[in-house]
Amino acid sequence: MVRLISLLVGAAFVGVLAIALFGTVATAISDPAPETAEAKYHQHPENIGLASNGFFGRFDRRQLQRGFQVYKEVCSACHSLKYVAFRDLADLGYSEGEVKAIATQWAIEQPSVNPETGEATTRKNIPSDRFPSPFANEVAARAANNNALPPDLSLMAKARHDGTNYIHALLMGYRAQPAALLKEFPGTKTPTGLHYNPWFANLNIAMPPPLTSDGQVPYADGTRATKDQMARDVAAFLTWTAEPKLERRHAAGLASVVFLLIFCFLAWGAYQNVWRDVKH
């Protein structure tokens, strides 16, 4: 009797769930949710084909150095790299002396305390220091950026879907708001202080266009600094900051695959040797 009651209760519960599911599906079909401006006009980035892409991908050191130069001269005014140390730049091909010079000459110094007075002060950066934030705290960062908080860029290529391509598309995506959008969605005019960018999730971003013209960052290696080239280079650099051990991971994966192939061949040979005298 108890078992029968349990079966009936279970059957009733499943039936209620089935009815609810059917009602939800029927409502979605007969009365679909209204299309939004974000859903219709949001764009998805295209693959920019960096050298680091793919199973055998490797970083282009010259491109990483150019990307660092773009970050230094453009992005560092607002965005931090709190998970990257100056000494990590040696992986980009900089010598020990160049790393020390970059750290010492960095525009923003490290916060410190005067040992004699105990008052807050600053000191020169050293290679073991991480890149300092351009702002003393979040309040100061928001005050300088129309109440928007500039995100840290250390892991941006991992924090956003298709991050490398997203960074490039976002930097190149500033444009006038299309008339078709305003006609179809009259209440979606870009607010004052924001900028229309269809590659941003809600179409309007607080960051002004950081790359404004060709030649904005004169490259030390002589590469022509078009806006597209600068966007590609800084996207490559931020891919490295997010995954500096990418090349070692690729090498370890390749070595593992080779090891497994050799192991399978040896196992097959051992099997053949052990069972060679056995007749089927």
Domain ranges of the chain: 37-84+130-242, 249-273
DSSP class of residue 219? -
DSSP class of residue 119? -
CATH class belonging to 37-84+130-242:
mainly alpha
Tell me, what's the pLDDT at 116? 79
8 Å CB contact between 133 and 80: yes
8 Å CB contact between 44 and 198: no
Which residues of the chain fall short of a pLDDT of 50? 28, 31, 33
Cα Rg, the chain, nearest whole Å:
28
Tell me, what's the pLDDT at 230? 98
| Residue 79 is labelled as binding a ligand | yes
Tell me, what's the pLDDT at 124? 94
8 Å CB contact between 51 and 63: yes
- Please give the Cα distance from 100 to 102 (Å, whole number): 6
- Amino acid in position 203: L
**Residues in CB range of 184: below 8 A, 6 or more apart:** 37, 40
| Residue 264 is labelled as binding a ligand | no
The helix-helix angle for 163-172 and 227-242 (nearest 10°) equals 150
Which residue bears the tokens 């600068």? 230
Task: Count other C-beta atoms under 10 Å from residue 102's C-beta.
Answer: 17
